[in-house]
Structure 1
Amino acid sequence: MKFSKRTAFFLGSMIIISFLFSNIFSTSNVDPKLIFTEKYFDIGDKVNNLIWFVQITDIHISIFRDPSRITQFKDFCLRTIDAIKPITVLASGDLTDAKTKDQVGSTQIEKEWQYYRDILRETQIQNKTLWLDIRGNHDSFNVVDQHSKNNFFTNYSIQGKLFPRSYMYQIKKDNATYSFVAIDACLDPGPKRPFNFVGILDKQEIDHIYEMMKVLKTSSNYTIWFGHFPTSCILTHGEESVRDIIGKDRNGLVYLCGHLHKMGGLVPSMYTLQNAGFLELELGDWKDNRMYRILAIDHGIFSFIDVEMNEWPVVLITNPKNALFINPQRENVDSIRTSHFIRILAFSLADITSVKVKVNKENWLHCRHVSGPLFVVPWNPHLYFDGLHDIQVFVKDKEGRTRIINQHFSLDGTQLSFNIMPKILLSSNANVMFRMMFTIMVIISIGPLLFVRYLYDLLKVGRMSKLKRNQSIWKLWIRKLCLLSTIDRIFWPLVLYPLYLCVGPWSIGYIIEEHIGVIFAWGIYIRGSFLPGSFTYVYGFIQLVTFQVPLILILAHGVDQRYQYSILKPGRKRSMLNMVCAQLPFLILIFVQLEMAYFFWLAYGTLAFVLGPLRTWSIFVALALWHQTLTFPISCVGSKSITRIT
């Protein structure tokens, strides 16, 4: 696909602006390179001070689509877990799909939860590892509260019976305590899709998290935070953001999440180091990409690798650590500088027969098997104190499968930079961005109309020269909009509609089954609760882009055509092609809006469809304005403005 210069400029501008916002709304007072933790280890060739675990996210078990999600998830719980033998598995939300057969409606489907429970039972997962699961936004579709009959997470998940929301588990090994803290930011109550794309931590949940942090402060050596939503997609009660809260845990190494599904494949590796001092790592989904993640803490150093199912062998270098993820705020890099062995974790369905390591362009070194997946080889880190270096690992298993991986490492503090798009997506504030998108589109929808109305007033009093038809396309459209602005019965509805979307209700209907709610741009009222607006702004943004702006242009052109053939070309007949071309854009616009209203009806039902100014009523507004465009009296346009506009 070819992009014009304007398109490239627009995309580039959006990226730059988003990057600036990501820095504006992520505060940092400390240079990460200036802080070093006191946790020093003498890294040798023993298997002590080492744990490894697994993350899987966005499983989306569905009874309507892609049965292989279920069968391959069972295979994951059998062969993959048996091969890796993790100390724990973090299942970070969207365990089920919760979409109706038409893929538009949403509700909790008990059969999907039964599949989830049965797979874990049949594979005896709890006899193999500690399975820590938590809800995602799909797991809370149409769930009015924790006690709702639709809250199947409580009945069918592993942890839901004990912990309906956020919780903590601690594992003790080799005189160290590893804490796993699950953050549940699902909306309560949980509306149907799509208005729960962004999560919320209310005061009660934040207080609960702070109670857990008191335990972390006194009894934890390392903390792994995980949840479904990225921190950019979590609102909080009060001034503190979720990043501020996690950042207060000085033992917190990382926050693990899912939800964004690699942005449809556009951002396959979504990682960043937050200014609060912890890594944030979004994992690609199981739903379409069949991804999972292996993570390790080896002598206080955190490492990970993202893996696609059935990729064997799997190789994770724990020392020296990947230079991209060095975090001196939470790890003592002196442990790597003074280490005696390169350490590698290698997993496969068959026994590993060979592990070799090569640093830079040196000779291959054969690794020695220590225990389990751990392989080591002596090295002299003093040879690599300056700059970036490359380490390459070759692994072969008994069945002949091989894997070669490469990564950069540094021992002098040299760090690589994260890509800009992951930084934007994980470090920005989605709620602020969505609100700004909506606000900008409201201004774009109203501003030009008010501007040309002002020009029209100048033209009326003769303070501006005549706009000629044979000028540039830019001035041609200014002339058309000026002509439109002279007709109050069309102009004012076009101005008031975007303003109404800012303040008035968009729809009234069953936002949650059996519970009527009211949707505004700035939030949803339902069952005595208020859910602050976030993704609602995206919904309004889309409405303005796909409906309001095209409607203005179509009506402006229609008004101009009627004026031309009624005043400047009286009696001249319009060709059939001309009439079809004049009507076609409006018909397409109405068809698109009808389709969107139909999908809204599928999602929220008949009442929301009927009492829906955003989707349904806008169709009738457009029809009325188009009728006015075709039939407005020419006397609506002042004579002075006619001579000067044309």
Structure 2
Amino acid sequence: MASCATTRLIKMLFVILIGTFAWLAATLANNYVVEFHDTSIPDHSTQQKFNVRVNNPSTYSLGASTKNMMWFIQVSDLHFSIFHDETGERPRDFMAFCNENVDIISPAVMLLTGDIVDAKGQLNIGSQQYVEEWKMYGNILNSSNVLQKTKVLDIRGNHDSFNVPTHEDQENYFRKYSAQGQQGNLHSYHYIHKDGDAEYSFIAADATLLPGPKRPFNFFGYFQEEEMTLLEKFAEESLSSSGTVWFGHYPTSIMFAPSRFRHVMRSGLAYMCGHLHTLGGIIDRMYAFQKTGNLELELADWKDNRRYRVVAIDHGLLSFVDAQFRKWPIILITNPKDAMFEMPYHEPLESMLNSTHIRILVFSPGAVKAVKVRIDNDQWKDTVHVSGPLYVLAWDPRKFSTGVHTIHATAEDEEGYHGSISQQFSLSGSPVQQLSLLARLLLMTNICTLLQSVFAVLLGLTVIPLTVLKFYRPRPQFNYGCSPISWVKVLLWRLHLLASVNELFYPLVLSAVFLTAGPFFVGEAMDGHIAVFFVWGIYIKGSYLPGDVTFTYGIAHLLTFHLPMILCLAAVIAKRYQAKFLTVGRTLCLVFPVLVVLLYKIWWCFTFYIAYGYLTLLLGPITSWPIVLGMLLFKRATQFDGSKLRNGEYVLNLHPVENCGAENTTL
């Protein structure tokens, strides 16, 4: 009776796991694969579904006038730190930027897209808000007079929200030391810049977690329902603007359920963000078109790379260049714009074909001596200075109405700075080189769903093979040799032996399944506030934060503990089954992998203790508990009586080939 009940339980568990896999596969298809779109031009069905062309762009006359033209700058990820910038170079350079570059560029607006402070401890493990870091930022805003030179639109990033329970909390120094915080804009807001008869909307989208736990479980963005409703209101208000720019800290792919946000900002020209820096130097420029046809532009950090962005909206056409601090001149061609960034459903691209002048913005600390232009292999021609940074050259666009062409521009100032730029343009919509595939994959996917799917796959690899081998007991007899298939058979044989030992099978399987429902650990996620961490989310201060980084740690736990322990224990049980004398070398081969796994878990315990306190050690199913479990299981496996398996008829009956060439292939 008990045996039948156990078999039914295992079969039920197997069916549940298969159902979970099917659900996750459907979720992955809807939220990951479908999110990816490979072109900037939505097809007819996409245009209807998302109502992409909410504002029908008007066609302008692009001549030699500065009317209907504005430009602004973006800076991201300052990471001011009292621990990791002992020389003060980072804030000192930003002070120089506010004094010099802002004067030279004279932007209408300066966007600061989050992670103003570093908020990390000296060991890069703990995290909290340090008022000294915020004072650095506030002093720069005040002493550089940048607030009088331009409109500073700053917004929080995840580092700015570490250990911050509410917007009104005293730990939220953003409200006291930031430009917008002092004006009461503590989360998302809408700013309208007026330039003559034109109005430009800048919508700040604050996706920081509320409440904001300490790191590492504060990396993804999340819009609560109230915040999303506010953004929908701002989107509606911006429909009458000459151009709308969205900005925030997180790329949309690093948000929980990003589809709705992408839909809300579908009428904007671009969404500008930071957060990913350069992904460790892998992707220097991270740009993508969302499937609604508008741009998403991630900016490399100020922290290590000293990058900033200059953006222009010229008669409805958006152009930009990512610049390096103290590298001059900055050259930005606004007409004809770079074909790689054309947005047919958001920009009046017909204006380029009807224009009378090539238009270029040049910014440099010295007086500009010459700005020259040529198209393809034509002769260099001198441009004419209109006013400010605008230089123009009369042209006949009809000569270039077909195909893809390349425009080159050079500039030189009286201080000896010299620069050049080249970009392709197309007045007929001819296809040009696509944006970086890796950047598009990174910015257009739903990474939360991807992490969930990877976790489910690894959980299945942990549980399903052992579960199947537990109740499905074939009795074939075959020999194995040295081919890859033979080694797979050896692995299955070892897993079959392991699944046959109840004292090992049930702890391994049940502790893995526990991860899907039980807590990961309990800890002080914010000072004075205890949180319970699950794979699917965090309960803290009476609020629920959906799972994102939690799935990453679930994946890491399965990869670094469960799967290695299964392989190690299976190898030990195979040796006990064979009842062979274990030499010192063989003993070390069995003990060493287990020791590495347990030492890594001890390191985990230390990092979690630093981040969230001692409770993570007492109540830690993925911190301290696996150490105890691993030691007990390994001890039980080494002491197991292999004759109990050798005498059983249910074990796969293999006849190993002891030698294969010069190698020993014993189990």
Structures share a fold, TM > 0.5?
yes
1:26-175 equivalence runs, <5 A: 30=44, 37-66=56-85, 67-161=88-182, 162-175=184-197
| C-alpha contact 1:98 1:141 (8 A) present in aligned 2 | yes
Retained in 1: the 8 A contact 2:576–2:641? no
Match of 2:241 among 220, 223, 229: 220
State the match for 2:20 in structure 1. none
Matching residue within 334, 340, 349 for 1:333: 349
Give the conservation status (yes or no) of the 8 Å contact 1:113–1:152: yes
> For 1:25, which of 25, 30, 35 is the aligned residue?
35
- The 8 Å contact of residues 467 and 475 in structure 1, kept in 2 or not, is answered as no
Q: How does 1:103-502 map to 2 (within 5 A)?
A: 103-161=124-182, 162-217=184-239, 219-235=240-256, 241-247=260-266, 250=267, 252-416=268-432, 417-454=434-471, 457-459=473-475, 464-466=476-478, 468=480, 472-502=486-516
| Matches of 2:562 and 2:613, distance apart in 1 | 24
- Tell me the CA shift for residue 562 of structure 1: 2.5
**Mapping of residues 561-572 of structure 1, within 5 Å:** 561-564=575-578, 566=579, 569=580, 572=581
Partner of 1:604: 612
- The equivalent of 2:571 in structure 1 is 557
Asked if 1 retains the 8 angstrom alpha-carbon contact of 2:616 and 2:623, the reply is no
Identical counterparts, % of pairs: 38
Q: What residue identity is the alignment partner of 1:465? A: Q
Residue 595 of structure 2 aligns to a residue whose secondary structure is helix
- Shifted more, 415-424 versus 159-168: the winner is 415-424
Q: Do the aligned partners of residues 269 and 19 (structure 1) sit closer, same or farther apart at CA in structure 2, a change above 3 Å counting?
A: farther
Alpha-carbon separation, structure 2, partners of 1:174 and 1:336: 22
Residues in 1 aligned to 2:125 and 2:57: alpha-carbon distance in whole angstroms: 52
Report the AA paired with residue 409 of structure 2.
V
The answer on whether the counterparts of 1:258 and 1:284 sit within 8 Å (CA) in structure 2 is: yes
- The 1:277–1:606 alpha-carbon spacing in structure 2 relative to 1, beyond 3 Å, is same
More displaced 10-residue stretch of structure 1: 401-410 or 262-271: 262-271
Within 1, Cα distance between the matches of 2:57 and 2:151? 30
Between the aligned partners of 1:354 and 1:240, the Cα distance in structure 2 is: 47
How far 1:29 moved relative to its partner?
A: 5.8
Cα deviation, residue 57, structure 1: 0.6
Deviation at 1:418, TM superposition (A): 2.2
**Residue identity matched to 1:373:** P
Aligned partners of 1:643, 1:300: CA distance in 2, in Å? Answer: 72
For 1:449 and 1:398, how far apart are their aligned partners in 2?
75
TM-score, normalized by length of structure 2?
0.88
- Secondary structure class of the residue paired with 2:623: helix
**Contact between 1:178 and 1:223, CA under 8 Å: does it hold in 2?**
yes
Deviation at 1:401, TM superposition (A): 1.6
> What CA distance in whole angstroms lies between the structure 2 residues aligned with 1:639 and 1:187?
56
For residues 445 and 384 of structure 1, what CA distance do their matches in structure 2 show?
A: 61
Q: RMSD of the alignment, in Å?
A: 2.1
CA deviations 1:188-237 (Å, max 9, x no partner) are: 101111212111111111222223233223x422111100111122235x
Once residues 403 and 28 of structure 2 are traced to their aligned partners in structure 1, the CA distance between those partners, rounded to angstroms, is 31
Counterpart residue type for residue 601 of structure 1? Y
2:540 aligned with 1:526, yes or no? yes
Taking the aligned partners of 1:400 and 1:324, their CA distance within structure 2 comes to 31
What SS does the aligned partner of 1:103 have? coil
**Deviation by residue 1:319-370 (Cα, 9 ceiling, x = unmatched):** 1000010001111111001111111111112121111111001110111111
8 Å contact kept, 1:43–1:299: yes
Distance 2:352 2:403 in 1: 14
Conserved? CA contact 1:37–1:328, under 8 Å: no
Q: Which amino acid aligns with 1:433?
A: L
SS of residue paired to 1:393 = strand
Instruction: Give SS of 1:517's match.
Output: strand
Q: How far apart are residue 551 of structure 1 and its match? A: 1.3
Query: 2 CA distance for matches of 1:88 and 1:71?
Result: 21
The 3-state SS of whatever aligns with 2:448 is helix
Cα distance in structure 2, aligned partners of 1:308 and 1:602: 37
Contact 1:501/1:540 (8 A) holds in 2: yes
Q: CA deviation at 1:131?
A: 0.4
The 3-state SS of whatever aligns with 2:624 is helix
- The Cα shift of 1:93 comes to 0.5
Structure 1 stretches lacking a partner, 5+ long = 1-16
What is residue 586 of structure 2 aligned with on the other side?
A: 578
Deviation at 1:639, TM superposition (A): 2.3
Q: Distance in 1 between matches of 2:466 and 2:102?
A: 61
Cα offset, 1:592, TM superposition: 1.1
- Aligned partners of 2:439 and 2:347: how far apart in 1? 22
Q: Please, which of 510, 523, 526 is the counterpart of residue 524 of structure 2?
A: 510
Counterpart amino acid of residue 502 in structure 2 = D
> What is the identity, as a one-letter code, of the residue corresponding to 1:211?
K
Q: Which residue of 1 aligns with 2:550?
A: 536
Describe the shift of the 1:441–1:364 C-alpha distance in structure 2 as closer, same or farther (beyond 3 A). same
Cross-structure match for 2:10: none
Q: Which piece of structure 1 moves more, 94-103 or 392-401? A: 392-401
Deviation at 1:183, TM superposition (A): 0.5
Letter in 2 for 1:639: G
Cα pair distance change 1:295/1:168, threshold 3 Å: same
Looking at structure 1, the residues matched to 546 and 638 of structure 2 have their Cα atoms a distance apart, in angstroms, of 41
Where structure 2 has 5 or more consecutive residues not aligned to the other structure, the ranges are 1-26, 656-667
CA distance in 2, matches of 1:397, 1:516: 59
Q: Which amino acid aligns with 2:307?
A: M
Q: Output the CA distance in 1 between the equivalents of 2:140 and 2:243.
A: 31
Give the superposition deviation at 1:616.
Answer: 1.1
Compared CA separation, residues 643 and 405, structure 1 to 2 (3 A):
closer
| 1:636 shift after superposition | 4.2
**Paired amino acid for 1:135:** R
- SS of residue paired to 1:235: coil
CA 1:309–1:19 in structure 2 vs 1: closer, same or farther (change >3 Å)? Answer: farther
